[in-house]
Structure 1
C-alpha cells in the first residue's frame, strides 16, 4: 500500500532534496563559513551552483549572508535558527547512511519497509 507523503514533507524535500543542498547545510553546521572556504568544502560544486544554492537557502530563511568589510571584502554565510534546527535531522540521515549506505555500495533494495 502506498502512503501519501503529505505537503510538509513534500515542501521539505522540494528544497532539501536538491543536489548539493544537504552538503552545503552540513558544511555550515560548524558556524559561519566564507564563500571560498565553503567552495573548497563542497568538492565538485561550481561557484555558480554554490551561489545559486546559497541564494535558495537564504530565500527559504535557512541561511544568512554576511558581508565583512575588509580589506579584503569577504562574504560569509551562517545558518539561521531555522537552519540550525535541521541539525538533528541531518545527524540522523548521516547515521542512517553510515549504517545502510556503506561507502562503495551503490545497490538499492526496493522491497519496501513493511
Structure 2
C-alpha cells in the first residue's frame, strides 16, 4: 500500500462522513447546529458583532447559563469569535466567522420557514390531537 500524505488522509476521511452512522463525528455537529439556541444566536449575529448583553436581551427565554454555553460551543466549533476589549467594564463582543456566515443562510431559511408555516403546523397539531382524543371506533 502506498504512503499517503496528511492532506490525502484528510481528504479520504471526509468522504466517509455519514451522520446516519452513530459513531460519525458529523452526528455531534448536526446535533449542535440543530439546537434552537444555536440557530437563534447565529441569526442574531448576522448583522454584525453583538455584546453578550445584547444577545441576552434579543433572544427571549434564553438563560444566561444556556447563552454562555451556546456561544462557547459556537466559538469552539469555529462559528463565532469572541473579542475582549479592555476597559471598565470589559467589553466582550461576539461575531460570526466566515464559516459561521456560511451557515447563516441555512439558519435564516429554517427560521423563516418556521415563521411562515406556523399556522399550518398548529392546524395539523390540532387535527392530530383531536383524532387522538376521539374514542376508538368513532
**Quick check: TM above 0.5?**
yes
Distance 1:103 1:34 in 2: 36
Q: Which protein is bigger by CA-based radius of gyration?
A: 2
Structure 1 runs not aligned, ≥5 long:
1-5
Alignment counterpart, residue 95 of structure 2, candidates 75, 78, 87? 78
CA RMSD across the alignment: 2.7
**How big is each residue's C-alpha offset from its partner over 1:11-49, in whole Å with a ceiling of 9 and x where there is no partner?**
542111223111111111111000011100111111111
Structure 2 runs not aligned, ≥5 long:
1-17, 20-24, 129-138
Matched residue count: 105
Alignment counterpart, residue 73 of structure 2, candidates 53, 56, 65? 56
Q: Which residue is 1:3 aligned to?
A: none
Higher relative contact order (CA 8 A, sep 6+): 1
- Deviation at residue 76 of structure 1 after TM alignment: 0.7
More moved, 64-73 vs 85-94: 85-94
Distance 1:109 1:96, change over 3 A: farther
Give the TM-score, by structure 1 length: 0.77
Distance 1:57 1:29 in 2: 14
Give the TM-score, by structure 2 length: 0.65
